[in-house]
Chains A and B, each alone.
Chain A
C-alpha cells in the first residue's frame, strides 16, 4: 500500500470538507459545546448557590460526563464520511477516481483518514479546553487537579478513536446501499443510542468508568472495528461499487 496515494485522497477530501461549512461547523460545534457547556453550567450554578458549593461533589459526574467525547467521536465522522463516499457517488465522481492507478485499499484508507482526522482533532482540542476549565472550576473544591487522569486518557486516546473508526466503517458499509447522504446519516444516527445508553448507565452508576472498565470497553470496540473493517473492505471494491452499489 502506498500511503502517499491514501494521503492524496485524504487531502482532496479535506479541501472539500473546508468548503462544506455545515459539516465543518458541526464538527467544531459539538466538541466545543461539551468543552464549554458543562463548565458553563457549573459556573452558572455556583454563581447563584455560592462558590465551591457544587464543584466539591462533582467528581463522579465528571468521569461519566467524559463519555460525551466517545459519543462525539462516534457521531461526528459520519457527517464527513457520508459526504466523502455517498457524496462522491451522487456527484458521479467515484468512477474517474476508480480509474486511477490507486488501489481500493488506498482510496478507502484516504477516505477514512479524511473522516477520522477532523473530528478527532476537534475532540482532542476541545478536551484540552474542557480539562483546563474544569480544573479551574473544581480545584478549589476538590483540593487537587481532577484532570488529566488515566480514565480520561483512555477515553481520549483509545476509546474515542476506536468509536470513530467504528462509525466510519459502518458508514462505508451503509454507503453501498444508500442513494443520498441524508439517508446514510439517518442510519448511522441510530448508532448514537447505544453510546447514549452507556452514558446514562454510567451517570446512574450501573457502569463505573474506571480505567479497567474503559480498557475492556476498548477491547470490545476493537473486535467490532476489526469485524467491520473486514466487511468494509469487502464492500469497497471497484467491481462492487460500479456493479452493485445503488
Chain B
C-alpha cells in the first residue's frame, strides 16, 4: 500500500519532541497513557488504510450530486462515518460526562492528520465534532440531549453555516434573520453559501450551527446570534419533519470534491425553525470557539496533504531512473541513476520534508498549548491561552501556504507524469489549494496576527513566545553542533522584533491601512521564524538521541535525517526572511489606494 504519512515521524513529534505522555500527569488526562495513545493512532490508521485511502481517487472522480433537492455523496462516505462514529472518534476529545474520552488535543491532532493524509476529500467528522462541541458547551440541556449523541455517533452531520453571498470574510454584513416564536423557537429566513457537508444522503440529519441576526438586533458583529438549525426537526411527538432548509445549489470545486459545498436557502415556505444557542447577540464569540479549532484543523489538513504528496514524490524519486549524475553525464554506457540522486530533486524532497515535518511540529505545539490551557489555572492558563491565540493564525497559515508550495514541488519531482491523472499529485495539488482560503483567508489570518495578536495586552503574547524560543536556544547551545543554528534563530528573533517595532507606530498613529498593508508578508516572516524554532527543537531531540544512546541503524538514519532537514531549513528557507524584512521596513507605499489611482 502506498504510504501517505510517516508513523515514525509522528511518534517522534508526539512523544520525543512534544512529550504527550506528560499530559497524563494532569488529573483531566490521567485515564490515558502512551499505550492508549498508540492504540488510538493504530485504530485510526486501520480505518484510514481500509476505508479512506483506497478511495482517495474515486471520491474525487465521483463528486456529490444535487438532484431533485437531494444530495447524493460517494457510497464510501456512509461506512466511513459509521466506523468513526461507532469507534467513538468523532467525540474522543469530549469530556467523559459529555460522551467523550477526554483524549488530548495533541493526539486528536494526530488523528486528524492521519485521516486527512489518507483522504482529505472525506472531511466530515471535524465539522460534526466542532458543531457538537458548540451545542455541548452553550446549549440548553434539551438541545444537548436532542443533538449531541447522534452527532458524535456519526448518524447526524454537523456544519458551520456562516458565509452568505454578500458576506464572506465580512461577517458583520450577514442578513439571515431570526424572528422569535411563541414556542421559544425562531423562524429563520435567508441564505448561506459554501456550507461544507451542508447536505448529504449518508446521514439521517444535518445540523447547521448558523450565524443569524435576530430581528431588531444591533448592526455589525454585536448583533449576531448563533442558532441550531437542523435539516429535519424533532417534533414533540417524536416525529421528524422537514425543516424547510433547501439545498438550492452545489458548488463544483477545484478539489476536496468528496465533500459537498452547498448553497442553502432557509424559510422558502416560512417554516424553518432555529433554536438559539447561548445568549442572543453573542453568536460570533461562541462561533470563534469552533472557528479557532477549525483553523488549526485546516492547518492540519494542509500539512497532511503535503505529507501525502511528499510520500508519493519520494517513492517516485527512488524508483524512477533518469540520466546520469552531473559528474558522470558523458558515461552513456552506465545505467541511468535514480532521480533522487540529482541535487535539484534532492532539494525539492528536502524542501517538502522540511515543510511537512516543521508544520506538523508547529501544529502539535499549538495542540499542546490548548491541552495545557484546558488543565491549568490562573496566570498559567492565561499565558497558555495567549500563546495559543498568537500561534493559531500562524498554525493555520504556514502549513497551508507552504503546503501549497510543497505539493507543487512534489508534482515537479514527477515531471510530466505529475501533470497526469496516472499519479495522485495532480489531485493533491487541487485539493490543497482551498486550505489557504477557508476559515479565514491568509490575508485575514495575517491581519489577525499583526493587527490583533501582536498587540493584545501590550504585546504580552509575543513576549511569552520569545521567552519560549529563548529556552530552546539555550538548550541548543549545549550542543556544539547546534550552536550555529541557535545563533541564527536568535538573530532571526531580533530581526522579527525590529520589523515589528518599525510597523507598530503606524497602529499607534491610527493608520491601520499602512500598519496592515503588508500583513501577509509579515505572516510569512513570522511563520518562517516560528517553524525554525520548531526545527531547532527537533534538532535538539535528534542530537540528544545520537549523542546519548545507541539508537540502532534505522533510528540513527532517522535522527540523522532530522539533523539534515533542520540544516536544510536553516540554510535554504530561513534566509528568505532577509528579503521579507527589507520589504517590510521599506518606506515605499505602492498598494494603498490614493486620490489619483495608478492604473493597473
A binds B: no
